[in-house]
Structures are given as C-alpha cells and as structure tokens.
Amino acid sequence: MDAITYKDVGITRPRDAYWMLGVMFVLGISVVVLYAVRTHEYVRAAFAAGWMIAVAVGTIRALQQVVTLPRDRAATLAFQLAAMQPILGITPLTLLLLP
C-alpha cells in the first residue's frame, strides 16, 4: 500500500494522507473542545465535532478505495482529491472557532 506514490512532492503516499488527516483531526477536535468550554455553546461545538468526524470517516473510506485502484491518471486525481478533504473540511471550521 505505501510503496505506491501518487505525486512527486507534497502528500505522495496514502500513509502521508493518513498522517495529515490524524493531525488535522486532533487539532480540530481540540479547538472544538476549547471553544465549547470557553463559550458554553455546546450545540454549535457538537455540530462542528460531528462535521469533523464525518469528514474523517469520508476521507478514510475514500483513501481505502483509492489504494485498491490500478495506478493511472484517474487514481492519481482521486488520491489528490481524497487528500484535500481534510484541508477543505476541517481547517475552515477550526479557523472559525478560534478566538
């Protein structure tokens, strides 16, 4: 699984994408918890946490499907799109909830 590289620079392997997802998810959930404790807006924080969990699950499912595809241009594009999901799904919420 990790011997296949999809790009020359940046996030090149599925392992790199999983690491990025893990780091972004932990940071995002930490910001959500701090936001909930600081503002006592638990519904908004729960919605943001649910959104981040959904993005993480969707990214994991997409990466699992991409690595089973034969490596061609379409698989490379699918990998790049799956690797962008945490950036587009978790980062904006994290930045909106920061003080």
Q: pLDDT, tens digit, for every residue of 50-73?
A: 999 999 999 999 999 998 888 888
Gyration radius from the chain CA atoms: 15
Say if CB 7 and CB 81 are below 8 A apart. Answer: no
DSSP string, 37-55: HHH--HHHHHHHHHHHHHH
Domain boundaries, given as residue ranges, for the chain: 14-97
Say if CB 79 and CB 16 are below 8 A apart. Answer: no
Q: pLDDT, tens digit, for every residue of 14-50?
A: 888 999 999 999 999 999 999 999 999 999 999 999 9
